[in-house]
Amino acid sequence: MGALKSALLTVSKEQPSSHCCFCSMQCGLEILPSEKTEGLTIKPSGIFPVATGRLCQKGLNALEHVLHKERILEPLHRAVARAGQWQPISWEEAYSGIADKIKSLQEQYGRDAIGVYGGGSLTNEVSYLLGKFTRVALRSKYIDYNGRYCMSSAAAASNQAFGIDRGMTMPLSEIPHAKYIILAGTNIAECQPTMMPYLLEAKKNGAVIVTIDPRNTMTSKVADIHVRLQPGFDSVFINGLLHVMISEKLVDERFIQSRTSGFEGVKEAVQSFTPDRVEHMTGILEAVIRTIARGYAKAETGIVLTARGLEQQVNGVENTLNYINLALVTGKIGRKGCGYGAVTGQANGQGGREHGQKADQLPGYRLIEDPAAREHVAKVWGIDPVELPGKGVSAYELLQKIDEGEIKALIVLGSNPLVSSPNNRMVERALQKLDLLVVADMFETETARHAHYILPSSSFTEAEGTMTNLEGRVFHRRQAMELPGKCKLDFHIISELADALGRGHYFQYAGIEAVFRELAAATAGGKADYSGITYERLQDEKGIFWPCPSADHPGTPQLFQDRFYHGDGKAKLFGIQPKMPAEPIDAEYPFVLTTGRLGNHYLSGAQTRRTEALFKKAPVPVAEIHPSLAKRIGLSVEKKIRITSRRGSLIFQVKVTDGIQPRTVFVPFHWGDEHSINVLTNDALDPTSRMPEFKICAVKIERVE
């Protein structure tokens, strides 16, 4: 490992702590000298309150990819993407070459010929700078990020229902006080393992836990009731619950009257969804529907948590709104032991979407087409509001713009869209058309293989900054290790590239704390108001919940105690008429493919597939099918299956289990190339959130001879 190892062994004696780079729990950890693991080891930190002194297997092995031999340590260039060998170059040569090409393309095709694709694991400061860079240095409207694939449906639903989007309306510490907990489309035990102690404590305190998932998962094992629902039927099922609550007068009439609007629409929408009809449509027994409806409604306290299972659909926003309806009609929100939460997936999935990476947003959740928002942010940035571009398009649509020839160059930071996007053969075709692809990353990812430049970026251990976890808790992540080789911090790469483009005077910062101060000023008065948060206030290691509008404000752990964020202070209820998925099953494609995560891996696998301790547990994706399907296709022991959709065909190893809904096949998405399940997935988008329908794809299944 040579130079890489020697550079990374210099650990700051004053600040040996950090936070895990993986899921949205953002557990605290300590990096300590050791005779194992290349001279370093990770231990859980007992200071950060969220994970209660624990780390999962990914956190305990988080240094392996940082120290990996494949890590890129200097800028690389090649004149033709995928042709020839990478050539090491200096940073000055990289910036000059990139800037010259961008200027040439913009002169020929216009400013919007350049796009930027960000990530949900970047710090708040880098997320903020990336949005500013796109709009001020490039003066392009085209920026979005991989969080569009993660939280956009829940974000849109929360904005519609509550008037604000903060993933969880309450801190995790409220979970043990809930007497009834509904977990829908979320496998917390594998995706956020250190969150499980909160659920187990609630169960110890007498809570009933219900899981709704097409698979029996590690999470469903702790549930009192598991609803094995076929993907696409969430709103049908929830309408059945709401029907029982309303017909049996189990709703909170006082709360509905004083704190919500739209209840009559809900009553009308669910009127025909009797439990017996819902049983006929879903296969879920009428008795189970009544039991869950009565149990949740009658419980003194309760929490509903949702995640990608119901959100990554063309009806994802409406599905999420219907789950929010459960909390609102029973008055279980804004008080102890109650709330709704969309369980954020990525490390900084919450903060990453608040400060300007989304196509239509400016920092603080301000809308880019709102004149007042433009004026406020432009003043902070020192530009005329008319200089700000309008809104762009969502992440997948941005990639389509490349395929269509409108976008000629793309800068990617903190993402691997070739693996993570649906219908990814289109994505590969689009990347091959680019006149310029710049990827800032630690590794040559599947996306970076198509690049003209790779810029070596920093790992989580080397980059100081703030993060916002799934609760809306803002905290400071310290720098724990030195940069290796010629790697640079992400915020330096952005600022120095802006300088090469002749716009560097807008990106003069003494350090990362100065970036945060500007971010805080840009959010002042916005929904996600960080203006009262400072690095000094974050030094107590516990963090501050936004909104925090002033220096003397304590932060807001529990939202909606007195009012919601709509003008009238009320939450909005929405009557949902369930709709069909974009690609229903039929005689030719009679099964539903759904995708998801494994506990051993993270996102596109760029880090965890380079972590031996994790990779050896899951070296390849394995498809899960029901015994009835295995029998139908004549599957014998140790045979493989071919999964075919309207977009392609792939072969997988297979696990036969009665723990999956009989018409559903599950495949994890952490691999690229011949193992990339997103070759098959459908690129249909939710009309509001623009979230792709990863969770429902019509397929046929055949055994491989």
Is the CB of residue 146 less than 8 Å from the CB of residue 424?
A: no
Assigned token pair, 232: 């696409």
| Of 550, 545, 510, 512, the residue nearest 531 (C-alpha) | 550
Rounded CA separation 522/515 (Å): 11
Cα–Cα distances in angstroms (integers) from residue 639 to residues 633, 668, 675, in the given order: 11, 19, 17
Is the CB of residue 212 less than 8 Å from the CB of residue 188?
A: no
One domain for residues 18 and 60: yes
Residue 135's H or E segment, with its range, is none
One domain for residues 177 and 112: no
Domain that holds residue 403: 76-149+369-510
One-letter amino acid identity for 553?
A: H
Question: Is the pLDDT confidence value at 238 over 50?
Answer: yes
Rounded CA separation 599/668 (Å): 10
The total of other beta-carbon atoms located within 10 Å of residue 264's CB is: 10
Query: In sequence order, what are the residues at sequence separation of 6 or more whose Cβ sits closer than 8 angstroms to the Cβ of residue 601?
Result: 608, 609, 614, 618, 668, 670
What is the per-residue pLDDT across 30-43, written as a single tens digit (0 to 9) for each? 998 877 656 889 99
Question: Angle CA(695)–CA(698)–CA(703) in degrees, nearest 5?
Answer: 110
Number of domains present in the structure of the chain: 4
What is the per-residue pLDDT across 545-558, written as a single tens digit (0 to 9) for each? 999 999 999 999 99
One domain for residues 377 and 331: no
SS3 breakdown of the chain: % helix, strand, coil, rounded to 5? 35, 20, 45
Query: In sequence order, what are the residues at sequence separation of 6 or more whose Cβ sits closer than 8 angstroms to the Cβ of residue 274?
Result: 240, 243
Assigned token pair, 116: 């930027």
In a domain? residue 642? yes
Q: In 3-state terms, what secondary structure has residue 590?
A: coil
pLDDT band of 79, cuts 50, 70, 90: confident
In a domain? residue 525? no
pLDDT band of 8, cuts 50, 70, 90: very low
User: Among 66, 89, 114, which residue terminates a domain?
Assistant: 66
> Percent of the chain having pLDDT more than 70?
97
In a domain? residue 375? yes
Question: Is the pLDDT confidence value at 2 over 60?
Answer: no
Question: Is the pLDDT confidence value at 626 over 60?
Answer: yes
What is the per-residue pLDDT across 311-340, written as a single tens digit (0 to 9) for each? 999 999 999 999 999 999 999 999 999 999
- Report the pLDDT averaged over residues 586-606: 95
pLDDT band of 12, cuts 50, 70, 90: very low
In a domain? residue 484? yes
Question: Is the pLDDT confidence value at 499 over 70?
Answer: yes
One domain for residues 138 and 190: no
One domain for residues 53 and 84: no
One domain for residues 410 and 471: yes
Rounded CA separation 475/521 (Å): 17
Q: Is the dihedral of CA 294, 295, 301, 303 positive or negative?
A: negative
| Of 130, 688, 133, 139, the residue nearest 390 (C-alpha) | 139
Strands 303-306 and 591-596: unpaired
Rounded CA separation 465/52 (Å): 22
In a domain? residue 557? no
The total of other beta-carbon atoms located within 10 Å of residue 457's CB is: 24
One domain for residues 240 and 302: yes
Assigned token pair, 370: 């709102």
Identify the pLDDT of residue 37.
55
What is the per-residue pLDDT across 87-96, written as a single tens digit (0 to 9) for each? 999 999 999 9
Indicate the pTM of the whole model.
0.95
For residue 176, is the peptide bond before it cis, meaning its omega torsion is within 30 degrees of 0?
A: no
One domain for residues 17 and 161: no
One domain for residues 189 and 322: yes
Rounded CA separation 650/668 (Å): 13
> Percent of the chain having pLDDT more than 90?
93
Question: Angle CA(307)–CA(308)–CA(311) in degrees, nearest 5?
Answer: 95
Strands 409-413 and 114-118: parallel
pLDDT band of 3, cuts 50, 70, 90: very low
What is the per-residue pLDDT across 367-398, written as a single tens digit (0 to 9) for each? 999 999 999 999 999 999 999 999 999 999 99
- CA 59 from chain centre, in angstroms, equals 18
pLDDT band of 80, cuts 50, 70, 90: confident
One domain for residues 99 and 187: no
Assigned token pair, 176: 């043990």
What is the per-residue pLDDT across 196-219, written as a single tens digit (0 to 9) for each? 999 999 999 999 999 999 999 999
Question: Is the pLDDT confidence value at 4 over 60?
Answer: no
Task: Count, in order, helices (H) and strands (E) of the chain.
Answer: 24, 28
Identify the pLDDT of residue 488.
98
| Of 312, 314, 144, the residue nearest 684 (C-alpha) | 314
One domain for residues 169 and 132: no
Rounded CA separation 518/523 (Å): 9
What dihedral do alpha carbons 211, 217, 218, 224 form, nearest 10°? 30
One domain for residues 96 and 188: no
